[in-house]
Amino acid sequence: QKEVEQNSGPLSVPEGAIASLNCTYSDRVSQSFFWYRQYSGKSPELIMSIYSNGDKEDGRFTAQLNKASQYVSLLIRDSQPSDSATYLCAVNAFRGFKTIFGAGTRLFVKA
Amino acid sequence: EPEVTQTPSHQVTQMGQEVILRCVPISNHLYFYWYRQILGQKVEFLVSFYNNEISEKSEIFDDQFSVERPDGSNFTLKIRSTKLEDSAMYFCASSDPTDQREKLFFGSGTQLSVL
């Protein structure tokens, strides 16, 4: 069974701090990795994608991928109360049509 | 900004009844998906659809489920005989073949309640 594992949290950080979210996956053939943000009662919204080992930065967000360790992370710099949401790690196999989601980490940013 | 549209936003039905959930994907997208999320649980893959046929489906997507693209804009999910455990939020998603087809754009969902 292919799995994506995340710490459910909640992760609580003060406003302005760095939030660090982590994810591991079990299927070694996974090729595409994503972070989605989901506000309570809303649909997932794509915020980052990463395909190669290393770091990828987009504004306040940095995604990190280590395929050897089967590990993906998301850093949110200068966290804002509006970042409070559940962050879903998602993985897709090479040429696969199925994206598998983790259960998500709830993030609270305290003003 | 283009978006995926789902109707209805809420659907209440009796156990054993048929329901059809409707979606209008983003117009230039060619890959279509249904996911569901039971309250407090993971987003789960149900089915993907491309070129007028199912490209992949999960164990959840049994004979009670079917998908259809009846015209050039709509994408539907039919549940033939609903069960209590079908109660969930159902999300439609689409993706663009020219921009990494694994990037999913989700609709706002249909909350299905089976009584």
| Cα nearest neighbour of A31 on chain B | B102
Q: Provide the residue type at B104 as one letter.
A: L
DSSP state, residue A81:
G
Tokens of B44: 């789960």
Q: For chains A and B, what is the number of CB pairs under 8 angstroms?
A: 52
Query: Residues A6, A30: contact at Cβ < 8 Å?
Result: no
Q: Is the pLDDT of residue B99 over 80?
A: no
- Which tens digit of pLDDT belongs to each residue from B70-87? 888 899 999 999 999 999
Q: Is the pLDDT of residue B36 over 70?
A: yes
| Cα nearest neighbour of A51 on chain B | B100
Closest listed residue to residue A47, CA positions, set A21, A29, A71: A21
Confidence band of A93 (pLDDT split at 50, 70, 90): confident
Tokens of A60: 């306040």
Residue B84 backbone phi and psi in degrees, to 5: -55, -40
DSSP state, residue A18:
P
Tokens of B68: 């259809």
